[in-house]
Amino acid sequence: MVSGPLSVTVLGSTGSIGMNTIDLLVRDPSAYRVEALVAGRNVERLIEQAKALRPSLAVMADPEFYGALKDGLSGTGIEVAAGDEAVIEAAARPAQWVMAAIVGAAGLKPTLKAIERGAVIGLANKETLVSAGDVVTRAVKTSKATIIPVDSEHSAIFQVLDFLQLDKVEKIILTASGGPFRTMGGNEMARVTPKQAVAHPNWSMGAKISVDSATMMNKGLELIEAHHLFAMPEEKIDILVHPQSVIHSLVAYVDGSVLAQLGTPDMRTPIAYALGWPKRIQAPVPRLNLAEIATLTFERPDAKRFPALELARAALRRGGTMPTILNAANEVAVGLFLEHRLGFLDIARLVAATMEAVNASEPGGLEDVLAADAEARAVAGRIAKSYAV
């Protein structure tokens, strides 16, 4: 039982999830003591956050910004650092609760470091479980760490899943908004620009996650994450398109009951659930008004128009490091797309080609995962050169 303020570290404090976490912390400063804040490149925002929350340590992942961070926090007494090792050191600090919100595989090492010391992890970095699910779950069992999912879908499942009767679960159902191109034809999708792809209709997210939503790769990654979080086989995880983003996910039981978690599409709700767990805390989100919404609709995802879904299922079925390869290739592809160097439809094509070109193996530990990740990135980069934009 925690007595006094909860000590907190936020990994990825200047991204979308990180900023929503900071918003909750500053609203109740007496309840929290911030151990460390970690950002990637947005030094101005980190300085602003650090001055508001007074962490013991502020870290920039990119060493280029060390000088600006040091100057910006001069005289505050806040320790400053920069670089990959400093990020891992921040995760190793003795915070009771850690928000893991660094986007992509870059979040794997620091998240694993926080897990290894037995912290409670608010997990927003789905790539940690996608890339290294078996390694991470073994570390959780050894350290007795606790993972509370922050993705709205996995938070919903966590809240309505009967962990004592997992054998009585028929399936879990992840909902998807369908993204901004749910009804768009194939010819139109071929001409989609990065600006269009990052304009999500319901959620406010960073560029990479928004593109993943547009390709529906985010739902494929969430499927793999759900497999590891809830010990569910691939065939018992369904995906259902729900454009209103009100029902965040569902669990179907053997007696015919289907339990769902509902709420307005605001990430502060699942963050607040993770931050307050096992209790609930106040969150300043718009309250759900079903009478005002009036209609909730559902449809099956179009696997032909969104091949990323089947690629993720195939990676999970093949196992080993294939999900690592899938994730690494997708990060390369999305990065190239955002730089206008790859077409929108080529994202899934590049991922598929990389999965065919790189052999999967059984990872013995983190180094094997990182080696597979590096190989997949190199191969994806070479293959991408043959794609014309």
- Provide the pLDDT confidence category of residue 84 given band limits of 50, 70 and 90: very high
Lowest mean pLDDT among 66-70, 206-210, 314-318: 206-210
In terms of domains, do 22 and 127 share one?
Answer: yes
Domain annotation covers residue 228: yes
Domain annotation covers residue 14: yes
Domain annotation covers residue 379: yes
In terms of domains, do 100 and 231 share one?
Answer: no
pLDDT for 206: 74
pLDDT for 104: 81
- The Cα–Cα gap between 218 and 209 comes to 7
Domain with residue 345: its CATH number is: 1.10.1740.10
Total domains in the fold of the chain: 3
> Mind listing the pLDDT tens digit for each residue in 231-269?
999 999 999 999 999 999 999 999 999 999 999 999 999
Mean pLDDT of the 9-20 span: 96
Domain with residue 56: its CATH number is: 3.40.50.720
Q: Which long-range contacts (CB under 8 A, 24 or more apart) does 116-119 make?
A: 116/142, 116/143, 116/145, 117/92, 117/143, 117/145, 118/143, 118/144, 118/145, 119/95, 119/145, 119/146
- Provide the pLDDT confidence category of residue 184 given band limits of 50, 70 and 90: confident
DSSP alpha helix (H) spans, the chain: 16-27, 43-53, 66-72, 84-92, 108-116, 126-143, 152-160, 186-189, 194-197, 207-215, 217-230, 268-276, 290-293, 308-318, 322-338, 346-357, 366-384
What residues make up the domain containing 129? Answer: 6-149
For the chain, percent of residues with pLDDT exceeding 70: 97
In terms of domains, do 170 and 119 share one?
Answer: no
- Residue 185 φ/ψ, nearest 5 degrees: -75, 160
In terms of domains, do 109 and 197 share one?
Answer: no
In terms of domains, do 73 and 139 share one?
Answer: yes
In terms of domains, do 89 and 211 share one?
Answer: no
In terms of domains, do 139 and 186 share one?
Answer: no
Domain annotation covers residue 176: yes
- Look at residue 156 and tell me whether its pLDDT is greater than 80: yes
Domain annotation covers residue 145: yes
Going by C-beta distance under 8 Å and a sequence separation of 6 or more, which residues neighbour residue 22? Answer: 10, 13, 49, 52, 53
Final residue belonging to a domain, choices 149, 169, 187: 149
| Average pLDDT of the chain, as a whole number | 95
Please choose, from the candidates 325, 256, 330, 244, the residue with its C-alpha nearest in 3D space to the C-alpha of residue 290. Answer: 244
Domain annotation covers residue 274: no
In terms of domains, do 142 and 18 share one?
Answer: yes
Final residue belonging to a domain, choices 274, 305, 336: 305
Cα torsion through 215, 219, 224, 227, rounded to 10: -170
In terms of domains, do 40 and 107 share one?
Answer: yes
226 — alpha (psi -120 to 50), left (phi > 0) or beta? alpha
pLDDT for 256: 98
In terms of domains, do 132 and 171 share one?
Answer: no
